[in-house]
Amino acid sequence: MTDTKSERRIAKIFKANVYSEGAGFLVHRPIGDRMMTTKETDPFLMLDELGPKEYKKGEFKGAPFHPHRGMDTVMYIIKGQGAHQDSMGNKGILKPGDIQWMTAGSGIIHDEGRNHPGGMLHGFQMWVNLPKKMKVRLL
């Protein structure tokens, strides 16, 4: 038996556009593009798929230090690995199955994906809008 209260209709069908990010890697972006409005996707601001793609050692340059504010960023690695560090002193290596959840709140600067050892890389990054009261809080 189907619960009709939880059913949803497909809003749109379209092919995600490709964008160059960070130091020049390509992503597919179905959310955060002109194909859907923020009203249609809120609280989700962006969804990017990286890969799957094979990289030679040193070829993937990642996204060198850059700022975020007023959102949570969620990175999920399916294949490969990626380094992360931020202005709060957090750092580590994300490996297959790992999720890195970063609350940017009133602002944070981070660096991701550099020093990739080569090999297959596949993952997703999602930006989630924070409520207004959390956008300027001190972390």
Q: What pLDDT, on the 0 to 100 scale, is given for residue 139?
A: 47
The count of other CB atoms within 10 Å of the CB of residue 60 is 25
Q: Average pLDDT of 16-43? A: 91
93 versus 12: the higher-pLDDT residue is 93
Least confident range from 46-55, 63-72, 74-83, 130-139: namely: 130-139
**Alpha-carbon distances of 18 from 38, 59, 87, 90, 101, rounded to whole Å:** 19, 19, 29, 30, 24
Residue-wise pLDDT tens digits, 51-65: 999 999 999 999 999
Residue-wise pLDDT tens digits, 73-126: 999 999 999 899 999 999 999 999 999 999 888 889 999 988 889 999 999 999
Exposure pattern of 110-138 as b/e (b: 16+ CB <10 Å)?
bbbbbebeeeebbbbbbbbbbeeebeeee
| Tokens encoding 14 | 């379209």
Whether pLDDT at 130 is above 70? yes
